[in-house]
Amino acid sequence: MSYTTIAQLSQGLKDGTFSSRELTQDVIADIKLRDHQYNSFITLSEELALAQAEAADKRIAAGQAAAMTGVPIAHKDLFCTQGVRTTAASKILENFVPPYESTVSQLFLDTGAVSVGKTNLDEFAMGSSNENSYFGKVKNPWDTNAVPGGSSGGSAAAVAAGLVAGATGTDTGGSIRQPAAFCNLTGIKPTYGRVSRFGIVAYASSLDQAGPMTHTAEDAALMMNVMAQFDPQDSTSMQMETPDYTANLNDSLAGLKIGVPKEFFEAGLDAQVAEATMNAIKQYEAMGAEIIDISLPNLQLCIPAYYVIAPSEASSNLSRYDGVRYGYRCDDPADLMDMYCRSRAEAFGEEVKRRIMVGTYALSEGFYDAYYVKAQRIRRMIKNDFVNAFSQVDVIMGPVTPSPAFDIGSKTSDPVAMYLEDIYTLSINMAGIPALSTPAGFVNGRPVGLHIMGNYFSEAKLLNVAHQLQQVTDWHQQQPQSLQGA
């Protein structure tokens, strides 16, 4: 038995096998029944979802359905949703109900998709394990002792557990791809500027990008067709046409040049993960692709540069949570300073506070050039490495993470050890290029992802490359043992 995909649900709705209302009711009942095992949802929006489903059924009956009309999905609880609590997994937004809608969630509403609720995450998207949530840790459906990855851990767990067929995530340093790898999903971080950031609670503005998390590349393409739209409300959104991301999924890969950077296979990479990754890459040789050794010499520098740029931007982006206009305000503030300092200290979690302080320090007088400007110069060196690589190859492949999903609690005491987990994903955000993770097998029962990176705005090619792998392998169709027979 395998998962139900968005494509299958779309077909079933079109054929009248089931209605969106029936489907949505089942999904919500299933979440209520099973999510206590994973804690993947923060908020369910049952009434709204059923209303959306009924509206979708009317559109389907009227023959006006788009591919995702009536399909239930979930949004990472970083997307502001009008009338539905949006928390960023923080106490500071515990009761925040936005009077506005993010562009991405609005696009899904416009196409008639059903939003069943908001998924758990690391607070303000800061984390790689989904252990930094005010609403509790998320557990990996493949092994509930393991983390699901982060920060989009709730979306990953919800899809991996079969609760919804697709969910949105955001990726600032790997927050879509790493949980996708840990949970055996397809997750794509589009090119910076491809998907609107409007209405998404910001972590690091120059790195944040939203994308889909699904079982298959085809499903990811269906979601990208909805999400990837120019948005005049976001100055960094690129003004360009949206291709049909499903159109080229079946293109032949004969002659495809795949670059494999040696720096992705150096010390620190788990040997079994390396083997699984190379095994997946070798699948492409049979399809006529050419594998080329390349080098990304500045890869290691992405960690220090990222941990300056992201906290710096975050320290400024999170200043708005001051207890004045919305969100948490401490009880009985003695004065203004007390209100600021206590509200923020009481309602931000430790990792968030740590990053705010690192960023505040990096931007402060006397350190700005040595930290922030230096990191931006290194950022250009990293980008240039990729620009050079893409003059030789069509896509780059390697591991997503140094190891499979680690045990819950195993890295929480050492933030730096946690940061090193992101070595393969951070550089992609620094360069702003698109990249995805697709299932590539298992190590000790825990999933491993293959990292496929492409040139700017090559999302359709990446989905084509992943889809072709999914035609000749069945890793993406595997289900956790606990679900079999469920």
Catalytic site residue 139?
no
Q: Which of 49, 88, 113, 158 binds another protein (CB under 8 A)?
A: 88
Active site residue 458: no
* Contacts with another protein, 189-228, as mask; x by CB under 8 A: --xxx---xxxxxx-xxx----------------------
From 34, 374, 477, 483, residue interacting with another protein (rule: CB under 8 A): 374
Regarding 328 and contact with another protein (CB under 8 A), the answer is yes
CB of 290 to another protein, least distance (A): 28
322 binds another protein (CB under 8 A): yes
| Active-site residue identified among 10, 175, 196, 343 | 175
287, 264 in Cβ contact below 8 A? no
| Identity of the residue numbered 420 | L
Q: How far is the CB of 170 from another protein (least distance, A)?
A: 11
Q: Write out the two tokens for 451.
A: 């990292």
State the Cα–Cα distance between residues 195 and 244, nearest whole angstrom. 15
> Is 372 among the residues that bind another protein (CB under 8 A)?
yes
Within 8 A by CB and 6+ apart from 146, the residues are: 139, 140, 182, 404, 405, 406, 407, 408, 446
**Contacts with another protein in 59-78 (CB under 8 A)?**
none
Interface stretch with another protein, choices 333-341, 388-396, 401-409, 435-443 (CB under 8 A):
333-341
CB of 155 to another protein, least distance (A): 17
Among the listed ranges 94-102, 144-152, 395-403, 458-466, the one in contact with another protein (CB under 8 A) is 94-102
Before 343, cis peptide (omega within 30)? no
147-186 binders of another protein (CB under 8 A): none
Binding of residue 91 to another protein (CB under 8 A): no
Which 292-311 residues touch another protein, going by CB under 8 A?
A: 300-301, 303-305, 307-308
Catalytic residue, from 10, 20, 45, 76: name it.
76
Q: Provide the sign of the torsion angle of the four alpha carbons 348, 349, 355, 361, taken in this order.
A: positive
Does the annotation count 129 as an active-site position?
Answer: no
Instruction: Name the active-site residue from 151, 155, 237, 458.
Output: 151
Rule CB under 8 A: say whether 375 interacts with another protein. yes
339 is an interface residue for another protein by CB under 8 A: yes
Q: State the nearest-atom distance from the C-beta of 390 to another protein, in Å.
A: 14
Q: CA–CA distance from 40 to each of 79, 314, 465 (Å)?
A: 15, 25, 29
Cβ neighbours of residue 200 closer than 8 Å, sequence gap 6 or more: 78, 79, 80, 102, 104, 170, 208, 210
Distance CA 97, CA 84 (A): 6
Stretch that binds another protein, among 16-24, 331-339, 388-396, 442-450 (CB under 8 A): 331-339
How far apart are alpha carbons 126 and 373 in whole angstroms?
Answer: 22
Instruction: Give the number of C-alpha atoms closer than 13 A to the C-alpha of residue 35, restricted to the C-beta side.
Output: 27
50 makes contact with another protein (CB under 8 A): no
Q: Record the tokens describing residue 178, joined without a space.
A: 């790493």
Q: Helix crossing, 459-472 with 271-286: angle to 10°?
A: 90
Say whether residue 329 binds another protein (CB under 8 A).
yes
In 342-462, at which residue ranges do the beta strands (DSSP E only) sit? 395-399, 435-443, 446-454
Contact track, another protein, 228-267, x by CB under 8 A: ----xxxxx-xx----------------------------
Q: How far is the CB of 59 from another protein (least distance, A)?
A: 28
CA count, 13 A, side-chain hemisphere, 355: 29
Residue number with CB closer to another protein (33 or 357): 357
Distances in Å between the Cα of 413 and the Cα atoms of 164, 204, 270, 350, 351 are: 32, 24, 21, 11, 11
> What is the side-by-side order of every strand in the sheet holding 210-214?
41-44, 114-119, 72-76, 166-170, 210-214, 186-189, 435-443, 446-454, 395-399, 257-261, 290-294
- Least distance (Å) between residue 146 CB and another protein: 24
Within 10 angstroms of residue 297's Cβ, the number of other Cβ atoms is 14
The phi, psi pair for 402, rounded to 5°, reads -70, -20
Query: Interface with another protein includes 342 (CB under 8 A)?
Result: yes
- 353 in contact with another protein (CB under 8 A): yes
Size of the site for another protein (CB under 8 A): 99
Q: Least distance (Å) from another protein to the CB of residue 360?
A: 4
CB of residue 300 vs another protein: minimum separation in angstroms?
Answer: 8
Does 454 participate in binding another protein (rule CB under 8 A)?
Answer: no
Asked if 94 touches another protein (CB under 8 A), the answer is no
> For residue 349, what are the CA distances in angstroms to 91, 343, 346?
8, 12, 8
Rounded least distance, CB 304 to another protein, Å: 4
Q: Catalogue the active-site residues.
A: 76, 151, 175
